[in-house]
Amino acid sequence: MPARKSTPTPRAGISEDHFTRLSRVARATRQGWAASGLLSPQASRYSLEDLHEVVVYARLREQFNASADVVWAQAREGLTSVIARPPIELVVDCHLLRAAWVLDDGAITQAARSGNDVRLIDLTEIVAEATAGFELVIATPRRATAPAADQLAARRARRSTDAAS
């Protein structure tokens, strides 16, 4: 019997350590982007959607530096729906910084009509890699660490109560 491929649910989450490793974006950098309103606020567990946002925005930063914010503002809303049907490509008019998801050849034709330089950014591979890593982390059974953490918190609370007495 073939193994069933597990699909992560949107509510499934990964730790910050796994998130940072998979996204290849430093924690402080991600926090700065979130504080600027460019990404979803920090959570205790990160969803697959959070991971997709970070890897795509990071790629846009590589391509457009500070101008990536303008491109991202146009691309962010459609990201989830585009990811569902690869290839995941974004066409950007480099002069106007006008961005559109490539759903068909019409998006490329429309962008090229301006006569400006146009850049086609293929995000398929980085999104697929991030998704695969997320699925591996989610599929791996976690060690039961909650009781140990609870015991440590209780000990600290007793110590602070004893010190205050």
| DSSP string for 39-106 | SPPP-SSB-HHHHHHHHHHHHHHHHHGGGHHHHHHHHGGGHHHHHTSS--EEEEETTTTEEEE-SSHH
* 3-class secondary structure, 125: helix
| Domain ranges for the chain | 16-88+123-164
Task: State yes or no: pLDDT of 6 exceeds 50.
Answer: no
Confidence at residue 123, expressed as pLDDT on a 0 to 100 scale: 97
* 3-class secondary structure, 134: helix
Task: State yes or no: pLDDT of 117 exceeds 70.
Answer: yes
Task: State pLDDT tens for residues 14-72.
Answer: 999 999 999 999 999 999 999 999 998 877 899 999 999 999 999 999 999 999 999 99
Q: How far apart are CA 60 and CA 129, in angstroms?
A: 17
Rounded to two decimals, the pTM is: 0.77
Q: How far apart are CA 33 and CA 39, in angstroms?
A: 6
Is the peptide bond preceding residue 87 cis, with omega within 30 degrees of 0?
Answer: yes
Looking at the DSSP bridge assignments, the partners of residue 118 are 93
Q: How far apart are CA 9 and CA 2, in angstroms?
A: 21
Beginning with the edge strand found earlier in the chain, give each strand of the sheet holding 89-93 in spatial order: 98-101, 89-93, 118-122
Task: State yes or no: pLDDT of 3 exceeds 50.
Answer: no
Distances (CA, A) of 9 to 12, 14, 39, 61, 138: 5, 12, 20, 28, 10
Task: State yes or no: pLDDT of 111 exceeds 60.
Answer: yes
Q: How far apart are CA 135 and CA 5, in angstroms?
A: 9
**Mean pLDDT, rounded, for 131-147:** 80
